[in-house]
Structure 1
Amino acid sequence: MSLATPKPEDPPPKTSPSPTTQHITNPSNSPNKPTILHLGDDIRWNHELYAELRSKFHIERSYSMNREEFKAALEDKRWGDFVGMYRPFWNTGGEMGNWDEELISLLPKSCEIYASAGAGFDWVDTKTMADYGIIYCNSAPACTESVADAALVLILSTFRGIPWSFLAARSCSPSRFADANQNIAAVTHNPNGHLLGIIGLGKIGTRVAEKAALACEMQIAYHDLARLPEREDALRKKGIEALWCETLEELLREADVVVLATPFSGQILLGHREFAQFKNGARLVNVARGKLVDEDALVEALESGRLSAAGLDVHANEPYVDPRLAKRENVMVLSHTAGASVESHVGFERLGMENLLGWFGEGKVLTAVNLEEVRGRRERRERR
């Protein structure tokens, strides 16, 4: 069965269409319209919105192809002078690998925008895209709820020794079961009253703060590139005080558990030096990017007791998981699935189309990553 065709017994969820959505039957796909290159699989849920996109654009499809095939197709202008690209899912349409200058330089000069699924963009050189005048849009808001839920699961796992208990029961060994049953209470804690330190108070970080404070009665602190008074005010209206830590060292020194919810900028954020600054017995949760953490340093911090536990949705060398971490009873490991839910995928699909329609309709996008850089480049070019 095609991925685009839901099973009769498992219908797709009903979603509210975008305010701009129109119901269009038999939309034209005339090649005289501006062209959008659709990367990867068919859409699965937002069919009315896709019909609106097709009514305004000629849709070309690349489906799935490797990097060399994709480069050759661009060099041959197989899809013509397309004005935008659309990738509705994170696990398809990305087989060409990293979007670096080698790939970006082959895009037609007509290309203005790349609307893609997913929150992270460490695989895209957004600065080089801006240099070529291309806006890159991610879809981070669509997975905010799912990632925040997963972060809460990992926070709880680090306080309550969930991996130890789970692995003992999963082993079907009576002795391991008895060991966990009899000894886990002496070394685990309830999270309420503890300080949660969030690195990156964006949409996801803010939602993690809300869930942890309201559901688990945790105190909240955060560190970001700059203080975010508007985020603090939004949390305060919900009865949550978020303490601003001007330096990363201050946050690490005070937090009982640290959650990484910040984009990867190409550099390790937590290494040997930073782990030495953690409060003794603190915990680490990573729902951002695995490459933010030096895994050798993390293993050392766990072995020394500087960290008492960790919860990792992401890993430095995916799809490979460091066995030194995976085998530990005080580390919960997931398969980069924090944002993976039907609701996230519906939102990714919808938000990408809304970005395309908004940009070419009103000159506005909802989730641009590098828009200011693109504008700066255009202004410099106009002044010449």
Structure 2
Amino acid sequence: MPENNRTKLLIARRVPQAVAARAIDEFQAYVTESDMDSWSVVDFCKTHNVQAVLVGKKSGLQKEHIAALPPTVKIIANASAGVDHMDVAYARKQGIAVTNAPDALTECTADFTMLLILAAGRRAAEYGKIMRSGWGKSFGMTEMLGKRANGKTLGIVGFGRIGRAVARRAQGFGMRVIYTDIVRAAPSLENGATFYPSVREMLPHSEVLTLHVPGGGEPLMTKEEFDSLPKGAVFVNAARGALVDEDALYNALTSGHLFSAGLDVYRNEPNVDPRFASLENVFLTPHMASATVETRDQMGFTALDNVAAVLNGKSALNPA
């Protein structure tokens, strides 16, 4: 691409074609064909005097990477909601804006959470296996029974955008919703959900439990937390794998304390603990909660909107 006076934007991760086309139309965009690693991003920015970077998990920028960036870089745009792959505080100290896309994923992730709740409760992994092996045997009235969502109490850890969107969907299935968060939500946002001041207080009442908080730090769900759930509970995680002690989860599933689990995220992605793949009462997906055409496009567009705002001297639309 010939040099010109347009903003130099490095897209360091693979993005949908619609996002790449818009970037090329609006910026002097360098679009990678494969996800770049962090140091490759730094080297590219130095060589090309880049002003903005759109990054992903592989190209996440921690303190040492940010310190090595050239002074031309004014914004690091993230096309997803989570920013655990970046040192946001250090970037701000260096005068670099960091943005994310919190709204773009909300509805899609909430849809997917309901998929996990239904699939785990209704034994979808087992039913799929039976059908792919040819079925061939009728099941009686007492065999292969799952658990319905209707009438169950859903515990939600984290009542932000996604947590509230899940609550609305669950209420549509006739579930009672309870939740916990750092502070209680306004009554208008609760929409009838019941607040508990701590995870520990809520867990014994959660027949189904779903997590919607950021990762990082010590696991939120350890043996003690799983033991606090009622026997036969369903556990769902479409947030972050780091929230869960996977040994404790495995033991809860194999001991019969948990009825089942629906998992989209794992501690060591993309190398999932093989023990979970061996369990019939676990429904597994490969971190796909935001994987729809509409949402992935919107994620990229939101990142580009933030780049345009910051480099036009305006405030970031979605500061991380």
Shift of 1:46: 5.0
Tell me, what secondary structure is at the counterpart of 2:213?
A: coil
Contact 2:52 2:74 in 1 (8 A): yes
Looking at structure 2, the residues matched to 284 and 42 of structure 1 have their Cα atoms a distance apart, in angstroms, of 32
Show the counterpart of 1:250: 201
* Cα separation, partners in 2 of 1:362 and 1:99, compared to 1, 3 Å: closer
Matched, 1:140 2:120: no
1:275-333 per-residue CA deviation (whole Å, 9 max, x = no partner) reads 12212211110000111111100011112222111000111111112222112121100
Show the counterpart of 2:133: 171
Number of matched pairs: 319
Give the unaligned 5+ runs of structure 2.
none
Show the counterpart of 2:287: 336
Shift of 1:361: 3.3
Tell me, what secondary structure is at the counterpart of 1:220?
A: strand
Larger Rg: 1
Looking at structure 2, the residues matched to 260 and 294 of structure 1 have their Cα atoms a distance apart, in angstroms, of 13
Show the counterpart of 1:16: none
1:227 corresponds, among 184, 192, 199, to 184
1:112-138 per-residue CA deviation (whole Å, 9 max, x = no partner) reads 321121222222222222232322212
% same residue: 31
Show the counterpart of 1:84: 52
* Cα separation, partners in 2 of 1:334 and 1:73, compared to 1, 3 Å: same
2:265 corresponds, among 300, 304, 314, to 314
* Cα separation, partners in 2 of 1:146 and 1:39, compared to 1, 3 Å: same
Show the counterpart of 1:44: 17
Structure 2 letter corresponding to 1:190: R
Show the counterpart of 1:195: 153
Give the TM-score of the pair, scaled to structure 1. 0.75
Contact 1:36 1:83 in 2 (8 A): yes
1:158-199 per-residue CA deviation (whole Å, 9 max, x = no partner) reads 22222222222223364xx546885123xx222112111111
191-200 or 32-41, which deviates more: 32-41
Show the counterpart of 1:184: 144
Looking at structure 1, the residues matched to 117 and 48 of structure 2 have their Cα atoms a distance apart, in angstroms, of 46
* Cα separation, partners in 2 of 1:47 and 1:164, compared to 1, 3 Å: closer
Shift of 1:52: 6.4
* Cα separation, partners in 2 of 1:165 and 1:51, compared to 1, 3 Å: closer
Looking at structure 1, the residues matched to 95 and 210 of structure 2 have their Cα atoms a distance apart, in angstroms, of 34
Show the counterpart of 1:349: 300
Shift of 1:105: 0.9
2:221 corresponds, among 270, 275, 288, to 270
Show the counterpart of 1:294: 245
1:234-290 per-residue CA deviation (whole Å, 9 max, x = no partner) reads 352xxxx11111001012111111111111133311111211221221111000011
* Cα separation, partners in 2 of 1:39 and 1:69, compared to 1, 3 Å: closer
127-136 or 291-300, which deviates more: 127-136
284-293 or 359-368, which deviates more: 359-368
124-133 or 313-322, which deviates more: 124-133
Looking at structure 2, the residues matched to 325 and 352 of structure 1 have their Cα atoms a distance apart, in angstroms, of 35
Contact 1:165 1:180 in 2 (8 A): no
Q: RMSD of the alignment, in Å?
A: 2.5
Contact 2:97 2:316 in 1 (8 A): no
Shift of 1:59: 3.6
Tell me, what secondary structure is at the counterpart of 2:112?
A: helix
* Cα separation, partners in 2 of 1:247 and 1:41, compared to 1, 3 Å: closer
Looking at structure 2, the residues matched to 141 and 49 of structure 1 have their Cα atoms a distance apart, in angstroms, of 20
Give the unaligned 5+ runs of structure 1.
1-27, 370-384
123-132 or 42-51, which deviates more: 42-51
Structure 1 letter corresponding to 2:76: Y
Shift of 1:42: 6.5
Give the TM-score of the pair, scaled to structure 2. 0.89
Looking at structure 2, the residues matched to 131 and 161 of structure 1 have their Cα atoms a distance apart, in angstroms, of 49
Structure 1 letter corresponding to 2:92: A
Contact 1:168 1:180 in 2 (8 A): no
Looking at structure 2, the residues matched to 298 and 43 of structure 1 have their Cα atoms a distance apart, in angstroms, of 35
Structure 1 letter corresponding to 2:280: E
1:177-223 per-residue CA deviation (whole Å, 9 max, x = no partner) reads 546885123xx222112111111112111111111111x11111111
1:57-108 per-residue CA deviation (whole Å, 9 max, x = no partner) reads x44456544445444445xx2021x332224xx5xxx544x42112111112
1:53 corresponds, among 26, 34, 55, to 26
Show the counterpart of 2:90: 128
